[in-house]
A and B are shown apart, each in its own frame.
Chain A
Amino acid sequence: MQRSVLSAVMVALFVETKLSRAASSTVTNFTLPKWQSTEQVSLTDYAGQIVVLDFFAYWCVPCRRASEEVETGIQKYYAGKKGNPHGVTVRVLSINIEKDNPKQTAEFIRQTGLSLVLNDADAALLEKFGAAGTPFLVIIDGTRAQKDTKDTRDFRVLYQESGFEGTKKLRQIIDGIKPPKAARAKSDDEQAAIEHATGPPVSHKGGVSFDALLADDIQITSTALTYGQKRGGTEWSLNYTHKTYDEDYEPFKQFDFLGTPEHLSEAYDGGQLSLRQSLHPSLTLLASVGGYEGFTDYRSLWLANYYKQQFAKFFPNIYERPDPKGFNTSGGLRWEYQPTTGFLEAGFLYAEDEIAPGYDRDDLGNALRGGKYLYTHSPYLKFENVLTSRLRTLHEFQFTDTTRRERRYAYRGSVNVALGEQWTGRVAGGYTSEDPALRAWHVGATLEFEIAPRWLVSVSGLYYTDTGEIENSLFISTAAPGLQTYQGGLGLRYAGESSSFSISAGPTFAKYEPVSLGTRPFTNLYQDRTWVAVQAAWGFEF
């Protein structure tokens, strides 16, 4: 459980990352009316300037922040400086795509303080750019275009992106645009050669997160550090995770005469390197490799200690000190089959794990050591769809085949819905099936509310249940009985321009079904618990 919580935080840190499109296309001229006016505005009106297009709709929650920041951080910023560092004028054109409810659009314009709004009421221009989602931002270099040009191929698109990456990113590009005179007689080829030599700009991402899961007898913490770089179409990140387990091991005396109470303290260290390489504007290669040393969960540590107490002293030749470790590697392809709205990802994961072995006894009472190597093959398939500007879905299918375990089929899905100007809802669910009898499913919901610009509070709930693991044929079965958990949480998130952080906390109530006879020695492991989960994460870009 704590594993998925951690990965969710890490995913949250990187979920904003999207690849910029190769940015050397041109745009043909367009003409749009001004908001609530008959006056027409054409792109060619801004020949010789830098044009930033900001597509918005009043109901689009992230547009509010984007439009506001673009107006102050780009339009007013460059107006105050009389252009970019090379003296090129910068003009922001805010473009409304919603024809209904003009009153609300007017209110949006008033609140965000937009100075020049055009109307693209049927979103035709937005579609021309191949985007269906807002906010959508475009930077057009018009420095080569002449005032009365008929040849609009001189308007070059340097940047176009769904989602708002912050004014810092936009300024980086705007500041790099030089007028042709400053570049003197340099041809386009020479310009390209210069860009090639210096390379596209590098951006850095870092993150720190901390998780704790605390119960009366078991405490788990997890600290993760992340650093990543993005340069052009290449992006990589490195993650290091350190976990600690503290457990008050308590033998179930009624079924265990040899066991003694013990305090267990163990650590886990893991690292993961992930790579994303853009192969084509709509195709990205994903690769990842990682390794770890230490117990992966509190349960395996508890079970290993049971075996230690039962076998270490009595069978020194058969018992082995556990040394769990493993590595994994995965590869995949992400295909953007519909620009910015439809993604298909397919991949394959391979992992080798050395686990703490289990022990058994033969008919004569002699000890036997179980296997300790697991080999996992796991293909997966993901679909992500932006169905409308307000509705996004994600579906994931995974098949897992691990040696000495039954095959496992899992589905996970989630739906994100923008409920209003400040409300976002997320519903997620999943189902797992393992032959012959394990079934597990979960459903959860999160509601997020923007209490102030960039500040969001959320409330979430999750219900999970399974039918219990399949009992193995061992003398003592370690199989967990059926489990139900109820989880609740309150969170606070700050989404800043170049840094973000979140904190959340909440209880989890875990209720086990009664242990079966074969599992009775683990009664104290599989007892009902109340956990408190605390999470904090901080991510930044520079």
Chain B
Amino acid sequence: MNSITRHPRSRLLWLALAFTLFTDLAPAATYQVGNIVTNFTLVARRAFTRPDGTAVPAGAAVNLRDFEGRIVFLEWFAVWCPYCVAAAPQVKTGIVDFYAARGGNPYGVPVLHIAVNQEANASYQAQTDSFITQQGFSPVANDYGPGLGTNRVRFTFQSSGQPIFAVINGVTNSPSHQPWQLLVNHLGYGQTDFNATLAGIRAVIDTVQSPAPPPQLTVPKRNGTNFEFNFTALSNRVYRVQTSTNLTNWTTWRTISNVTGSVLVRDTNAPSSGRMYRAVTP
């Protein structure tokens, strides 16, 4: 009986293995979600001002690394592509305006949208310009330019097709994600409701945490055997309060889920001296 059941199963395993090998080998290497995206360069199609206040004239290089501290939402489009045309206003409502109204994601990380034109053919440029104006794209870049080839950046995300939506974490010291980590790599408008696709993308964007400022321990007080201090940190984060007698070896004394941002911490069994306290993120 064993041999009967084992046989098809092992065959299935081989098939699965073969499938994995082929799917891994077949396409040209494109970024997968979770990969770290190396710096790339696009060309500013229109002048804009970078988040740090730097003015970027049309034709200047636009580097991924210029947007540190942001969640970068890239949208490749072509004016002749019906699904790009249909997607653009939905992205504006569901991503650009959505996060502008909320001052960023729930952790306060700003979301920066960059529209990227993929169509280099000269005969399309006038139509492309009116489309950009109609959609209010800014910043807007071209995925081509002198010395850059055409669509080289685009093809590192998807080997073909459009529109492409890529989301990259630009928060370099985020506790949740690595710097320049790829969060979303989506091709196409899809057969289902595109607003649902955008909701899924927002759910990912919303997990990017801002760098946590160090928690502060203030107003220490002794009260009999009690030792108290105020603990102030970002809300909705988990911290560990540790103790030490020599500032070298620390042991976790308590874990605090800080909901409000500020709590009173009380050690009811503190020795008269020689116990040091600190708080760390997990």
- Residues of chain A touching chain B, judged by Cβ–Cβ distance below 8 Å, are 254-258, 310, 313-314, 363-365, 476, 516-517, 520-521
Supposing A314-B80, A363-B161, A521-B82 touch, asked if A257 and B119 sit within 8 A by C-beta, the answer is no
- Which residue of A is nearest B128, CB measured? A257
B83 interface residue (CB < 8 Å to A): yes
Q: Is the CB of B161 within 8 A of A254?
A: no
**Chain A CB within 10 Å, residue with most, of B78, B82, B118, B131:** B82
Q: Is the CB of B118 within 8 A of A258?
A: no
Chain A residues, CB < 8 A from B127: 257-258
Q: Is the CB of A365 within 8 A of B118?
A: yes
Q: Is the CB of B123 within 8 A of A257?
A: no
Chain A residues, CB < 8 A from B249: none
State the CA gap A256–B84 with chains docked (Å): 9
State the CA gap A381–B221 with chains docked (Å): 105
Q: Is the CB of A257 within 8 A of B131?
A: yes
Smallest beta-carbon distance B80→chain A, Å: 6
Smallest beta-carbon distance A440→chain B, Å: 25
B223 interface residue (CB < 8 Å to A): no
Q: Is the CB of B119 within 8 A of A256?
A: no
Q: Pick the contact of A476 from B82, B86, B134 — CB < 8 Å?
A: B82
Q: Pick the contact of A314 from B124, B151, B161 — CB < 8 Å?
A: B124
Would you list 12 pairs from A and B whose C-beta atoms are within 8 A, ordered by A residue? Answer: A254-B85, A255-B85, A257-B131, A363-B159, A363-B160, A363-B161, A365-B78, A365-B119, A516-B191, A517-B190, A517-B191, A520-B82
Chain B residues, CB < 8 A from A520: 82, 86
Among residues 78 to 123 in chain B, which have CB atoms less than 8 Å away from a CB atom of chain A? 78-80, 82-83, 85-86, 118-119, 121, 123
Smallest beta-carbon distance B30→chain A, Å: 13
State the CA gap A5–B169 with chains docked (Å): 63
B189 interface residue (CB < 8 Å to A): yes
Q: Is the CB of A257 within 8 A of B85?
A: yes
State the CA gap A255–B88 with chains docked (Å): 10
Supposing A314-B123, A365-B119 touch, asked if A255 and B82 sit within 8 A by C-beta, the answer is yes
State the CA gap A257–B79 with chains docked (Å): 7
Q: Is the CB of B159 within 8 A of A517?
A: no
- Which residue of A is nearest B89, CB measured? A254
- Which residue of B is nearest A252, CB measured? B82
State the CA gap A314–B79 with chains docked (Å): 12
State the CA gap A520–B86 with chains docked (Å): 10
Smallest beta-carbon distance B143→chain A, Å: 12
Chain A residues, CB < 8 A from B159: 363
- Which residue of A is nearest B121, CB measured? A314
Chain A residues, CB < 8 A from B134: 257
State the CA gap A520–B159 with chains docked (Å): 25
- Which residue of A is nearest B119, CB measured? A365
Chain B residues, CB < 8 A from A313: 123
State the CA gap A521–B134 with chains docked (Å): 19
Q: Pick the contact of A255 from B79, B83, B191 — CB < 8 Å?
A: B83
Chain B residues, CB < 8 A from A476: 82
- Which residue of B is nearest A314, CB measured? B123
Q: Pick the contact of B85 from A256, A516, A517 — CB < 8 Å?
A: A256
Smallest beta-carbon distance A524→chain B, Å: 13
Smallest beta-carbon distance A520→chain B, Å: 7
Chain B residues, CB < 8 A from A363: 159-161
- Which residue of B is nearest A518, CB measured? B191
Q: Is the CB of A258 within 8 A of B79?
A: yes
Q: Is the CB of B78 within 8 A of A254?
A: no
State the CA gap A509–B252 with chains docked (Å): 77
Chain B residues, CB < 8 A from A254: 85-86
Additional A-B contacts beyond A257-B134, A365-B162 (20; CB < 8 A): A254-B85, A254-B86, A255-B86, A256-B82, A257-B80, A257-B85, A257-B127, A258-B79, A310-B80, A314-B121, A314-B124, A363-B159, A363-B161, A365-B80, A365-B118, A365-B119, A516-B191, A517-B191, A520-B82, A521-B82
State the CA gap A254–B81 with chains docked (Å): 11
State the CA gap A313–B160 with chains docked (Å): 24
State the CA gap A313–B124 with chains docked (Å): 9
- Which residue of A is nearest B160, CB measured? A363
Smallest beta-carbon distance B186→chain A, Å: 15
State the CA gap A257–B82 with chains docked (Å): 7
Smallest beta-carbon distance A378→chain B, Å: 35
Chain B residues, CB < 8 A from A255: 82-83, 85-86
- Which residue of A is nearest B124, CB measured? A314
Chain B residues, CB < 8 A from A517: 83, 189-191
State the CA gap A365–B118 with chains docked (Å): 9
State the CA gap A257–B162 with chains docked (Å): 15
Chain A residues, CB < 8 A from B123: 313-314
- Which residue of A is nearest B86, CB measured? A255
Chain B residues, CB < 8 A from A314: 80, 121, 123-124
- Which residue of B is nearest A521, CB measured? B82
Smallest beta-carbon distance A362→chain B, Å: 8
State the CA gap A520–B134 with chains docked (Å): 21
Chain A residues, CB < 8 A from B151: 364
A-contact bits for B61-87, CB 8 A (1 contact / 0 none): 000000000000000001110110110
Smallest beta-carbon distance B212→chain A, Å: 43
- Which residue of B is nearest A310, CB measured? B80
- Which residue of B is nearest A255, CB measured? B82
Chain B residues, CB < 8 A from A258: 79-80, 127
State the CA gap A517–B82 with chains docked (Å): 10
Chain A residues, CB < 8 A from B124: 314
Smallest beta-carbon distance B25→chain A, Å: 19
State the CA gap A476–B86 with chains docked (Å): 14
Chain A residues, CB < 8 A from B162: 365
Chain A residues, CB < 8 A from B189: 517
State the CA gap A521–B85 with chains docked (Å): 11
- Which residue of A is nearest B118, CB measured? A365
State the CA gap A521–B159 with chains docked (Å): 25
Smallest beta-carbon distance B124→chain A, Å: 6
State the CA gap A363–B127 with chains docked (Å): 21
**Chain A CB within 10 Å, residue with most, of B85, B131, B160, B189:** B85
Among residues 228 to 281 in chain B, which have CB atoms less than 8 Å away from a CB atom of chain A? none
- Which residue of A is nearest B131, CB measured? A257
- Which residue of B is nearest A362, CB measured? B160
State the CA gap A254–B90 with chains docked (Å): 11
Chain B residues, CB < 8 A from A516: 191
State the CA gap A365–B150 with chains docked (Å): 12
Smallest beta-carbon distance A279→chain B, Å: 58
State the CA gap A254–B124 with chains docked (Å): 19
State the CA gap A364–B151 with chains docked (Å): 9
- Which residue of A is nearest B151, CB measured? A364
State the CA gap A438–B134 with chains docked (Å): 40
Chain A residues, CB < 8 A from B160: 363-364
State the CA gap A254–B83 with chains docked (Å): 9
State the CA gap A313–B126 with chains docked (Å): 12
State the CA gap A127–B84 with chains docked (Å): 75
Smallest beta-carbon distance A485→chain B, Å: 27
Smallest beta-carbon distance B136→chain A, Å: 14
State the CA gap A311–B151 with chains docked (Å): 21
Chain A residues, CB < 8 A from B161: 363
Chain B residues, CB < 8 A from A310: 80
State the CA gap A257–B135 with chains docked (Å): 11
Chain B residues, CB < 8 A from A365: 78, 80, 118-119, 162
Chain B residues, CB < 8 A from A521: 82
Smallest beta-carbon distance A522→chain B, Å: 10
State the CA gap A517–B86 with chains docked (Å): 11
- Which residue of A is nearest B158, CB measured? A363
Smallest beta-carbon distance A476→chain B, Å: 7
